[in-house]
Amino acid sequence: MRNDWDDERLLVALGEAIKASEAVPSWFVETGKNAFAWHNIDAELAQLTYDSNEDKREAAVMRSERASIRALTFTSAHLSLELEVTENSLLGQIIPPRAGTLEIHTRTGQISTTEVDEIGCFAVDPIPDSPFRLRCRSADGTDVLTGWITI
């Protein structure tokens, strides 16, 4: 370290270091610690590849108009998840279609599940009001996890 620092200097620096740490709210630190729950999840990650909001913002600038449906697409190496958000519902389809179970993970660690039918369709109800991610699992070994979604 700074071997040339005198005692006063070192004490002030230490005080600053401790203060910088104390200035961080505990909920912020907790959030970071809780993230470890996602370590080593075996699921394949699906990235957001389309969000109609991105188009909508451009469109709104041009026309001051809002589309009523938001569409999102998440894509992994083996499949994609198409999502449609209307005012009251979140509908989705897995392509190519397959039956299975859909898990809805919230940041507080809660998990709820819903069925995916034979043609790959599912409904999430109610729509989570905080960020969530979807994990899709089916009998053929499919295990795909989306990035975080905020509606």
The footprint of other proteins (CB under 8 A) covers 1-3, 5, 7, 10-11, 13-18, 20-21, 23-25, 27-29, 31-33, 35-36, 38-40, 45, 57, 60-61, 64, 107, 131, 148, 150
Query: Is the preceding omega at residue 126 within 30 degrees of 0, hence cis?
Result: yes
DSSP 149: B
Cα separation, 81 vs 102, whole angstroms:
11
Listed in order, strand segments (DSSP E) in 16-138 are 44-51, 70-75, 80-85, 90-95, 100-106, 111-116, 121-124, 132-137
Beta carbon of residue 93, minimum distance to other proteins (angstroms, whole number): 26
Of the pair 11, 67, the CB lying nearest other proteins is at 11
**How far is 124 from 104, CA to CA, in rounded Å?**
8
CB of 39 to other proteins, least distance (A): 5
Nearer to other proteins, 47 or 86 (CB): 47
Task: Report in angstroms how near the CB of residue 33 gets to other proteins at its nearest.
Answer: 5
Q: How far is the CB of 91 from other proteins (least distance, A)?
A: 24
> Alpha-carbon distance 76 to 95, whole Å?
11
Nearest residue (CB) to other proteins, 56 versus 98:
56
Decide whether 11 or 119 has the Cβ nearer to other proteins. Answer: 11
